[in-house]
Structure formats: C-alpha cells, structure tokens
Amino acid sequence: MIIKRLPILTGLLLLLLITSCKSKIKQQDDELYSRHLQRHVKLTIITTPMPDDKNELNLLLLNDGQDMGQFRVKEIVDSLYGKDLIKPLLIVGVHAGDRMKEYGVAGYPDFMSRGDKAEYYDAFINDELYPYAKKKATVRKFKSVVMAGCSLGGLSAFDIAWNHADKIDKAGVFSGSFWWRDKDDKAADYSDDKNRIIFNKLKASRKKPGLKYWFYAGEKEEEGDRDKDGVIDVVDDTKDLIGLIKSKNVCLPDDITLSEDATGKHDFQWWSKQLPAFLIWAFGK
C-alpha cells in the first residue's frame, strides 16, 4: 500500500513545487544608461508572476529605489500578492543620483537652485524608463501605471505624474515636500500663496490630467509650522495641495485619498506601515 502511494505523493510534491515557483516574487538589479541624465541609473526590479494575459500587468515606478529594502517593498508585495489582494505587478525602483538636483519640479529650481536637473529626470522617466519597463515586461501597454515616492521623491513623483498623465494613471505621495519654494521662507515678503513652486505650477496649468491621487502625512514628522496654526507644515502643505486640485476640477473628490497618522514620523519605518494600504488602493482586486 505504501509503495502504491509513492507516485501519488511524488506528484503532489511536484505540483506544490511548481505552484510555489509560479507564485514567487522575484527581485533583481539592473542598470540603464540615461542620455538625459548623462549617467548610468541603477534599478531595483520586483515582479509578481506574469499573468496569462500580459495586458493585465500593472507598473509602479518608484523614486529612491536604493531604499526599497527599508521600505520593505518586496516583503509587503509578497504578503499582499500571496493573499490575493493585489493584481500582477512590475515595480521599477530608480536609485537616486543627486536627489537635491534631480528631484523637484521640472523646469522650476528652488531658491537655492536645487532641483535644476528635475526636467532631465522627468525626461528620463518619460523617454527612457517607461519604454524600458515595457520592453522588460514584453508588453505594449500596462493595465495601469503609477508613480510614487517619499519626501522630495514624493514631490518629484507628483510632478512627473501631472506632466505625463497620458502614460501615468495614479500618483502616490508619502510625506511630499510640497513646501518646495522659490524664496526663503524667512524673507520678509515670503508668502505660501506666492512662493510654493508646485502650487504656482498647478495654478498656471491648463492641464486637466485624468489622475487619481493618494497622499500620506504624519502629524509627528516635524516641528515646522509657518503659519502658526498649530498644524505642522507637511500636513498643511498636503491639505492645501489637495484643496487646489479639487478647485481645478480635474478629478472627482473620490479620486483623492489622504491618509494621516497622528503619531507618524518622517522615515521609512512609518512609510512602510502605509505601503500596504497604498498598494491595495493602487492595485487592489
């Protein structure tokens, strides 16, 4: 009786092995030369198993790819995918070069000339990384494309998504640096209404990008409170931007999600706690 059952047991073991291989989340490193940035850009790539219909594959472009370990991206994707909570996904994490030069608002350096290469980074994402991702996945078009980042990388992600809504469907911003300004806030004539760069860009923009937005802000991220209203700047700036987006009528109110944490701080420990909710919002079944 035991001998007769051996082939059956062997078959079951092989089936389990094949199934586990198919569900395995893979991570690898790659590199792409950018003519826009004039440097080799390191990439960290995470993939769920490829769906039978490649048109069902989704893409997440993530700033600060060098920190994906701290962000616990692979671990969290593995858990969510294993629980059948998210759709098939390709994640391309872009390792930062000079963050203070390449991140920011394309074409609008701040008052210290930081972000003066943001337009080149924008061009890299649009002209080089997006085609690379399609080639990597061997698809003509992704089911959806999301751009995300944290802090200054979050400002960059928002700006790039706004600029390229023909390719990008959603923007995810963890503690975005929406304070980015063209004048020192200590100047006598500084004004939030006049000197926050991304706000000025959106006010002047005639674009009506069909984007959906996800924002996170923690209430313990900083001590700064420019307007002395008892609310820290990262929360105020995020809510101000949401108000501006709503006033432009570029999306439905339900297309904007704000997650707040009363104890949240400005680091990957807290951002990683928000990552599962963001991924389910962006790619949930």
Strands of 58-63's sheet, edge to edge?
26-34, 39-47, 89-94, 58-63, 145-150, 170-174, 212-218, 256-261
The answer to whether residue 163 sits within a structural domain is: yes
- φ, ψ at 57 (rounded to 5°): -80, 135
CATH assignment at residue 238? 3.40.50.1820
Residue 210 makes CB contacts below 8 A (sequence gap 6+) with 165, 169, 250, 251
The answer to whether residue 110 sits within a structural domain is: yes
pLDDT of residue 23: 58
pLDDT of residue 207: 85
- Tokens 């640096």, residue located: 177
Containing structural domain, residue 79 = 22-283
The count of domains in the chain is 1
Instruction: Record the tokens describing residue 54, joined without a space.
Output: 């490649």
- List the chain pLDDT tens, one digit each, 285 residues: 444 454 544 444 444 444 444 458 999 999 999 999 999 999 999 999 999 999 999 999 999 999 999 999 999 999 999 999 999 999 999 999 999 999 999 999 999 999 999 999 999 999 999 999 999 999 999 999 999 999 999 999 999 999 999 999 999 999 999 999 999 999 999 999 999 999 999 999 998 888 999 999 999 999 998 988 989 999 999 999 999 999 999 999 999 999 999 999 999 999 999 999 999 999 999
The answer to whether residue 17 sits within a structural domain is: no
pLDDT of residue 218: 96
The answer to whether residue 12 sits within a structural domain is: no
The answer to whether residue 239 sits within a structural domain is: yes
Residue 177: how many CB atoms within 10 A of its CB? 25
pLDDT of residue 15: 42
Cα-based angle 97, 210, 255 (whole degrees, multiple of 5) = 95
115 and 99 in contact (C-beta within 8 Å)?
Answer: no
Detail the DSSP E strand segments found in 136-228.
145-150, 170-174, 212-218
The answer to whether residue 1 sits within a structural domain is: no
The answer to whether residue 6 sits within a structural domain is: no
The answer to whether residue 125 sits within a structural domain is: yes
Amino acid making up residue 174: F
46 and 283 in contact (C-beta within 8 Å)?
Answer: no
- φ, ψ at 131 (rounded to 5°): -60, -35
Q: Is 113 left (phi over 0), alpha (psi -120 to 50) or beta?
A: left
pLDDT of residue 260: 96
Tell me the C-alpha distance between 272 and 76, whole Å.
Answer: 8
